[in-house]
Amino acid sequence: MAAPPLLSLQAIALTLGGKPLLESADLAVAPGERVCLVGRNGSGKSTLLKIAAGEVEADGGARFVQPGASLRYLPQEPDLSRFATTLDYVVEGLGPTDDPHIAKALLLELGLTGEENPRQLSGGEGRRAALARALAPEPDILLLDEPTNHLDLPAILWLEERLASLRSAIVVISHDRRFLENLTRSTVWLDRGRTRYLSRGFKEFEAWRDRELEEEEKQQHKLDRKIVEEEHWLRHGVTGRRKRNQRRLAGLTELRVARRRHVGAQGDVKLEASEAQLSGALVVEARGIAKTFGERVIVENFSTRVMRGDRLGLVGANGAGKTTLVKLLTGALPPDSGQVKLGASLAMATLDQSRASLDPQTTLKDALTGGGSDFVEINGERKHVIGYMRDFLFAPEQARTPIGKLSGGERGRLLLARALALPSNLLVLDEPTNDLDLETLDMLEEMLADYPGTLIVVSHDRDFLDRIATSVLMSEGNGRWIEYAGGYSDMLAQRGEGVQARTAAATQRGEEKAKAAPKPKPAAKARLSFAEQHALATLPAKMEELRGKKEKLQKIIDDPNLYARDPAKFAEATKLFAKLEAELAAAEESWLEIEIKREEIEG
C-alpha cells in the first residue's frame, strides 16, 4: 500500500490579470519522492510551487500538508536584504531542534564564509546562501525553483550529490536537463493550466510529451470530423426527425463549445540569426596571452586558434575568469602580455548574461527596434516588430510592456531576439540557457547547429555543451586553461575526472598545491582541435572538387563567341567562377594554417 502524500494540491485554480493561469492543477508528493515540474515559460510552474509552499493563495482547489511535516521553499529570487550576514540568513531558517553548526558547514561547502554582507552578493552567491538555508534543516519536503540558476559547475555537481543523499521529498523546477535526468523519478507536466503525471523521471518525459500531443491532435481531428457530420445531419436531415432528436442537437452544441474552448499547445520559438558575410578562415589566434588583476592570475601563457565554424565552449568555477578570457579572445580587453590576432571580416554579436544592457523602463518594442521604428531587419529583410515578437512567443499586447515587468524567461528570450537580429559571423553567448524553458533550448540548439559562423559560448549546462560544442576550454585554476576536443562529456573522459565542488578550505589547498607544483606547458598547442582534425581530413577533397568545377567553367568562359551569343550565360559563368575562386582560396588558406600547426606539433 502506497504511503499517503506529504503534500497534495487538488484542482488548483488561479486567475491573474483577468486570464486563467491555472485551471485544474494537481500535485501529490509522497515521502522520499523526486518530482520534476516542467512546462513552458509563463505556464505557471513557479506560481504552482508558491501555492504548494503556502506563499500564494489559490482562487480554488485544496492544499494539504501532513501535520508535523516540515517544508522548505527555494524561490527564484531569494531576498536576503534584511539580514546582516549570510549566516544570519541561513540560521533564521532553522527549526528549534536543528543544529546551527550545520548552517555554517553548508555555507563553507558552498564556498561562502557566513560573514558576507547580503547586499553585496552576486547572483550566484545569493543562490548559494539560499540553498544553504533550504537544505540546513533537512526538511521532509523541499520545493526548489530553478536551484541551478547562476551556479557554476562545481556547485551544480555538489548540489546533485547533496540532494541525492537526502531523505527529503523533492519537487524541482529546472531548465538543466542533465540535472533533472540525474535526480528525478517522476514528472508533472503543467500545460495550459492543467497537470499531467508521468511515473518516470525527466529522461522519459520528452518522448512521452510528444506522444501525448500527437494523440491530442488526433482526437481534435476526430472532433472536427464529428462536428462536420453532425452539421450535415442538421442541414439535410428530415424536418420531422428534428423534433425527435433534440438530444442529438444538444450534443452538436456541446461539440461546438468543446471545439471553441480548446486551446492548442503553445507554439515554438522561431530562432533565426542574421548572417553577415563569411569571415576569414582564421577567426582568433592567441599567442602566450596573460592577464592578472592585482595578485590574482586569470590567464597565464595561453595560446589557441579558433577557426571559422568552430564551436568553443568555456567551463569552470565562478570567478575562474571565463568572461574575462572571452573578452581577451574577442579583442574587448587587451592582454597584459602576449598577442591576440583577430581574423578578417569579423562581425560579432554578443549575448551578455548580466542583462545589464536592459533598461527596466524601456518597452519591449523599443528594446527590439532601438526606438522610433516599427521594424526589425533580419538578413536584409524588414520585419514588423509584432511579427518578430511572435517568433519569440511574445503576445502583441506586450509591445508596450516595460522590460522590468517581464519574467526571467521572457528577458532571456528578449536578449536572444536582440542578439540574433544583429548580422554576425561570430556569436559570443555568455550563459545563454539561463531562464529559458526546455522547448526554447531545443530551438536554440537547432539554430546554432545550422549557424554558418563561429560560436564562443560560456555555459554551465552540460547537456547544452554536449549538443553544440566541438571543443571545450576548461579552467584548471591559477590561470591555466586546457582545451579538450568534443563536448562536456568528452572533456570528462579525456580529463579523467569531473569538476570538483569547491569549499573555502579546498580552494586554499588547491592554490597552495598549484603554487608549489611546476607549471606545465599549455596543452592548447599539444593537439589539434576536433574541428581542425575534421577540416584537415576533408579539405583536400573539397579543394579538388572546387578545382574540377573551376576547370569546367574555364572551358565555358574560354568560348570566344559566348558573350555575343548569350551575354546572360557569360555573366553568370564569370560570377560563379569568381565565387569558386574565392572558396578555393579560403579552403587552401585554412588547410595551410592547420597543416603548419600540425607540423609544429609533430616537430
The number of residues in the chain equals: 603
Per-residue pLDDT averaged across 298-322, rounded? 90
Q: What is the pLDDT of residue 49?
A: 96
Per the domain annotation, does 565 fall within a domain? yes
- Do both 11 and 59 map to the same domain? yes
Mean pLDDT for 243-260 is 56
542 shares a domain with 484: no
- Cβ-based neighbours of 212, under 8 Å, separated by 6 or more: 189, 196
Q: Are residues 157 and 79 in the same domain?
A: yes
Provide the pLDDT confidence category of residue 445 given band limits of 50, 70 and 90.
confident
Report if residue 518 sits inside a domain: yes
Residue pair 209/40 in contact (Cβ under 8 Å)? The answer is no
Which residue among 525, 555, 573 closes a domain?
525
Q: Residue 536: give its domain's CATH number.
A: 1.10.287
* 176, 138: one domain: yes
Whether residue 89 lies inside any domain: the answer is yes
Are residue 135 and residue 199 in the same domain, yes or no? yes
In a domain, 159, yes or no: yes
The region of weakest confidence among 137-141, 220-224, 284-288, 448-452 is 220-224
Instruction: Please tell me whether residues 521 and 535 are part of one structural domain.
Output: no
Residue-level pLDDT at 277? 66
Mean pLDDT of 340-353: 84
- CA neighbor of 345 nearest in space, from 426, 247, 460, 437: 426
Return the SS3 of 197.
strand
Does residue 499 contact residue 158 with C-beta atoms inside 8 Å?
no
Does residue 472 register a pLDDT over 80?
A: yes
Give yes or no: residues 540 and 493 share one domain: no
Helix (H, G, I), strand (E, B) or coil at 27: strand
Domain that holds residue 479: 282-347+423-525
Please report whether residue 126 resides in a domain. Answer: yes
Q: Which of 495, 525, 555 is the last residue of a domain?
A: 525
Residues 370, 328: Cα–Cα separation, whole Å: 28
71 and 165 share one domain: yes
Torsion sign, CA atoms 209, 214, 216, 217: positive
Considering the domain boundaries, does residue 535 fall inside one?
A: yes
d(CA 160, CA 131): 12
DSSP symbol at 58: -
Same domain, 508 and 545: no
Average pLDDT over residues 239-262: 55
- If one counts every other C-beta atom within 10 angstroms of the C-beta of residue 531, the result is 20
The alpha carbon dihedral of 229, 235, 236, 240 has a sign of positive
Do 32 and 157 lie in one domain? The reply is yes
Helix (H, G, I), strand (E, B) or coil at 395: coil
- SS3 per residue for 75-102: CCCCCCCCCCCHHHHHHHCCCCCCCHHH
Answer yes or no: is pLDDT of 597 > 70.
yes
Higher pLDDT, 486 or 248: 486
The values of phi and psi at residue 188, to 5°, are -115, 120
The total number of structural domains that make up the chain: 3
315 strand-pairing partners? 474
Give tens-digit pLDDT for 555-580.
887 787 777 788 788 778 878 887 88
Residue 510 reports pLDDT greater than 90 = no
CATH (domain of 432): 3.40.50.300
* Chain mean pLDDT for the chain: 82
What is the reported pLDDT for 194? 92
Q: What is the reported pLDDT for 390? A: 82
Q: How far apart are CA 268 and CA 265, in angstroms?
A: 9
Residue 139 domain-assigned?
Answer: yes
- pLDDT number for residue 502: 43
Whether the predicted model's global pTM rises above the 0.85 cut: no
Domain boundary residue among 151, 177, 207? 207
Residue 230 in any domain: the answer is: no
Q: What is the DSSP string of 283-349?
A: EEEEEEEEEEETTEEEEEEEEEEEETT-EEEEE--TTS-HHHHHHHHTTSS--SEEEEEE-TT--EE
Judge if 460 and 571 occupy the same domain: no
Beta-sheet strands, E only, within 95-239: 141-145, 169-173, 186-191, 194-198
Q: What pLDDT does 241 receive?
A: 47
pLDDT band at 182 (very low <50, low <70, confident <90, very high): very high
| Claim to verify: residue 452 and residue 586 sit in the same structural domain | no
